[in-house]
Structure 1
Amino acid sequence: MSITAVQFVSPICDYDMKPALIAFLNIRHTFLRFSFLSSTLSPAAAIIAVAMASESVQCFGRKKTAVAVTYCKRGRGLIKVNGSPIELVKPEILRYKAFEPILLLGRHRFAGVDMRIRVRGGGKTSQIYAIRQSIAKALVAFYQKYVDEQSKKEIKDILVRYDRTLLVADPRRCEPKKFGGRGARARFQKSYR
């Protein structure tokens, strides 16, 4: 162990520090070895427990430059946006846009899952549209992976019939301004005389 530790130490490093680093690595190695052996679960049981606990999916929703990431797992029906409940999302005028997937599919489909949404970039409206898309995509992915294909198909059909952009991202982007004009396409006025 100490020979391999010396190989990883940078040659720029002070030679006085090498023995201390080797001692630290030896202590850390023995601690990890003993803590693993003294654990109550066997390695196979630990792997199964981790797999069952991490029954989750992660999905993205995008609108213009806003990106929302939804982490969906089994739970009690909590939906949080940037740490606060979805009921408090701003602006209030667009709050129902964020609620659309929930209102369309019914609360009973969301009762068994918790969703944690992180959104950044873009403006307020774009963020709301990114949130609603990520919620819809996360629920479809969760049902496909952990529930059954039939209910996933029903959910997907309901969402697509209402609004396709709940599942499919809008590819439109703002076109950059060019020289010779005040915008992307508009040109400066030209005088002939």
Structure 2
Amino acid sequence: MNRTGTILDLGFFLGVWHWEKGFGEGERWVSERQQRRPEEVIAVALADASIHGAIGFERGGAFEVNGVPIELVKPEILRLKAFEPVLLLGRQRFMGVDIRIRVRGGGKTSQIYAIRQSIAKALVAYHQKYVDEQSKKEIKDILGRYDRTLLVADPRRCEPKKFGGRGARARFQKSYR
């Protein structure tokens, strides 16, 4: 028996896999995880060297950054900056959406800016996909009027060093004698 057949048989035995009759797409094996998949959207934000991916789920309105509640994000001074989209739009717009954010790279400040951008982009994407176009437009207008960087990533990146100098543009001093 091939490898996938054994995995399916084992999954069926353990109750993880079951046979599902699809509507218009035929019959297939479905895992328990696929069956209970909530409505979700994925938004990616870049700020300086930080990369963030936010996933918006249909649930109770919690925010997590690397598995930790957003209320515990450090540094405390910039924590309010991460909450800007929530403060601008009001907590009621976020009540049905859980947002999980993964962050890596960059410094603390760029991470905070990327967190706020990914929260804003995830909410806009969620409203576009699962709510209606009108509410998405309202959210984009409110966020865009306050600060455009909540929706648009900063394209500036560090330029790599070239030969003939100490940095990207600096050259070694030239001597004629």
Q: Percent identity?
A: 64
- Are 2:51 and 1:67 aligned? yes
1:111-147 CA distance string (max 9 Å, x none): 1111111000111111111111111100000011111
Matches within 5 A, 1:1-193: 2=1, 5=2, 30-31=9-10, 43-44=21-22, 53-192=37-176
Q: Secondary structure at the match of 2:166?
A: coil
Which residue is 1:15 aligned to? none
State TM-score, norm by structure 2: 0.81
Quickly say closer, same or farther: Cα 1:90–1:44, change in 2 above 3 A. same
Aligned-residue Cα RMSD (Å) equals: 3.0
- Offset, 1:68: 0.5
Q: What SS class does the counterpart of residue 62 from structure 1 fall into? A: strand
Cα deviation digits, residues 138-175 of structure 1 (max 9, x gap) = 00000111111111100000111111111111111111
SS of structure 2 residue aligned to 1:101:
helix
Unpaired stretches in structure 2, ≥5 consecutive residues: 24-28
Greater helix share, structure number: 1
- Which structure features the higher share of strand residues? 2
Residues 1:34 and 1:168: Cα distance change in structure 2 (over 3 Å): same
Residues matched between the structures, number = 169
Task: In structure 1, give the amino acid aligned to 2:78.
Answer: L
Structure (1 or 2) with the larger CA radius of gyration: 1
